[in-house]
Amino acid sequence: MVEPFGNFIKHSLPVSHWVLGFYELHLQRDDQPIFFLPSSFSYVFVIYGDTIEINCKKKNEIVKGVVIIPLKDDLLSIKSKGKTKLLIAKCTSLSFSSLASNQNIDLNETIFLPCNLDLSWDILEPQYYVRKYLEELYYGEQTILISHVLRYINDKKGLVTVDEIVKRYSYSIYFLKFQFKKYLKTTPQEFLNKTKLFYCANELIKRPNDHLIFNRFGYSGFLGFKQNFMSMIGVEFEKILNCNIIELD
């Protein structure tokens, strides 16, 4: 069963527990670039058909096959070099970290995974083949509690404090910091700040004249938000308002 989601199709399929969302997008060579805001998620791209160009940190990569994208603090864009079906599995950064630990992968780099899928454009219902592939990926044992913490933070759109998290999950603040540093190479507060900025930016893109959004996310106003966005992302917020920004719910 599928439902349209902007230019995406959102698939409701029983994939592995670490997959938070599963989407499909059809791209053409002449399409405008699609931008992803930095977030607390990582993405698995499965590229059927022609290659796509990924631009991040002012670096271009031409990719095909199965690619894992760790989204950090940089705006990322993709553009098709031809006729492409792009399937995307959204996962927590913890899932990506677990895979990286098992395969000695650099957490900051794009990862190319081996794949025996037929990745031609004319494959019908490619999501079913990708689902099976994702289920077979070895992510190893994950820390279940920290995984719940990450989902809770995203459910709250970052509008939660570190103190509230440690009380809810009976963590000590020192253990929470250790877990974030070990698995995500960041601190709980930095993760909260990025998550809050991501959701605030998405709401402003949809409703740029709604000034109550700033108050809801704890910013003093547009200037305070803009300064935080520029400091964390390195791009002026106004410059992305006319871009084709994709939000995967």
pLDDT, one tens digit for every residue, the chain (249 residues): 343 334 678 887 656 667 778 899 898 887 888 888 877 778 889 999 999 998 876 778 898 998 888 766 677 888 999 999 999 888 876 666 666 555 555 556 677 777 888 899 988 888 888 888 887 775 555 566 777 888 889 889 999 999 999 999 888 999 999 888 877 778 999 889 988 988 898 888 888 888 889 889 989 888 888 888 888 877 888 877 777 777 666
Check: CB of residue 87 under 8 Å from CB of residue 133: no
CATH class of 2-136: mainly beta
pLDDT reported for residue 162:
95
- pTM of the shown model: 0.78
pLDDT reported for residue 239:
79
Strand partners, 67: 45, 112
- What letter represents residue 215's amino acid? N
pLDDT reported for residue 159:
94
Specify the domain boundaries for CATH 2.60.120.10 within the chain: 2-136
CB proximity list for 60: less than 8 A, separation 6 or greater: 53, 54
Q: How distant, in Å, are the alpha carbons of 75, 172, 199, 226 from that of 235?
A: 8, 36, 16, 10
pLDDT reported for residue 148:
81
Please count the CA atoms within 13 angstroms of the CA of 222 that sit on its side-chain side: 10
Specify the domain boundaries for CATH 1.10.10.60 within the chain: 144-246
How far is 10 from 195, CA to CA, in rounded Å?
A: 22
pLDDT reported for residue 5:
36
- What letter represents residue 36's amino acid? F
Pairing label, strands 34-36, 244-246: parallel
CA proximity to 228, closest of 73, 103, 84: 73
pLDDT reported for residue 99:
61
Looking at domain 144-246, does it have CATH number 1.10.10.60? yes
pLDDT reported for residue 249:
63
